[in-house]
Amino acid sequence: MALERLRAQLSMNTDFFPQHTMGDNMIEGLAVGAMFESRRELSEKQVHRPTHAGISGTKSFGAQSVVLSGKYSDEDEGNIVVYTGTGGQKDVYRNPGPQVEDQSFDHPMNQYLLKSSLNKRPIRVIRGPSSSRYAPSQGYRYDGMYKVTAAYQDKDPESGYNVCKFRLERVPGQPPIPVSY
């Protein structure tokens, strides 16, 4: 199976981050709850560099950060998030377009998160406006470090196509998410 092969490839040469560390994706001086007006500002301040994409990272390093928008079938329970992968869509300008084929772990950005699930390196999580009841009503908010604890495929009930899912668990010992509901 393709996924097992990828896991085998990616698990070579991986670093492991002990449970008690925040890892090297944490930015000194970036406080939980820090607000940003736009994706542009997130990019300029290097909290999440891509101005459009939801997943930031590299194939060898893994992911660095993700942004939740609420426009996908993510599940957000605050300390636990199930983030949907990228790809398999048409007409991207519709943000997002309809799912027209299966998502794949071969997709570079999905590989970043798959890699992170193996090297246990915590990633930064940013919530966009109204992306869930844990999200700010406006602007983007840095909500701390999360670990990717699972990567699997699931059937998207809307389209019937398979999508990649990533379970994110918030690293303990951080200030709570500043929920405002």
Partner DNA sequence: GGGCCCGCAGGG
Partner DNA sequence: CCCTGCGGGCCC
Contact footprint for DNA (CB under 7 A):
38-40, 43, 49-60, 67-72, 74, 83-87, 89, 92-96, 107-109, 111-112, 128, 131
Q: Are 103 and 112 in contact (CB under 8 A)?
A: no
Q: Are 153 and 162 in contact (CB under 8 A)?
A: yes
Nearer to DNA, 108 or 178 (CB): 108
Nearer to DNA, 155 or 175 (CB): 155
Whole-angstrom CA distances from 171 to 49, 58, 146, 149, 161 are: 22, 22, 5, 11, 31
Neighbours of 37 (CB within 10 A): 10
Q: How far is the CB of 32 from DNA (least distance, A)?
A: 20
CA distance linking residue 119 with residue 126, whole number of Å: 21
Q: How far is the CB of 27 from DNA (least distance, A)?
A: 14
Place of tokens 């699997």: 152
DSSP-derived 3-state class of residue 114: helix
Q: How far is the CB of 115 from DNA (least distance, A)?
A: 9
Nearer to DNA, 32 or 53 (CB): 53
Q: How far is the CB of 112 from DNA (least distance, A)?
A: 7
Task: Provide the pairing of β-strand 123-127 with 62-68.
Answer: parallel
CA distance linking residue 126 with residue 34, whole number of Å: 10
Q: How far is the CB of 64 from DNA (least distance, A)?
A: 7
Nearer to DNA, 155 or 172 (CB): 155
Nearer to DNA, 143 or 173 (CB): 143
Neighbours of 125 (CB within 10 A): 21
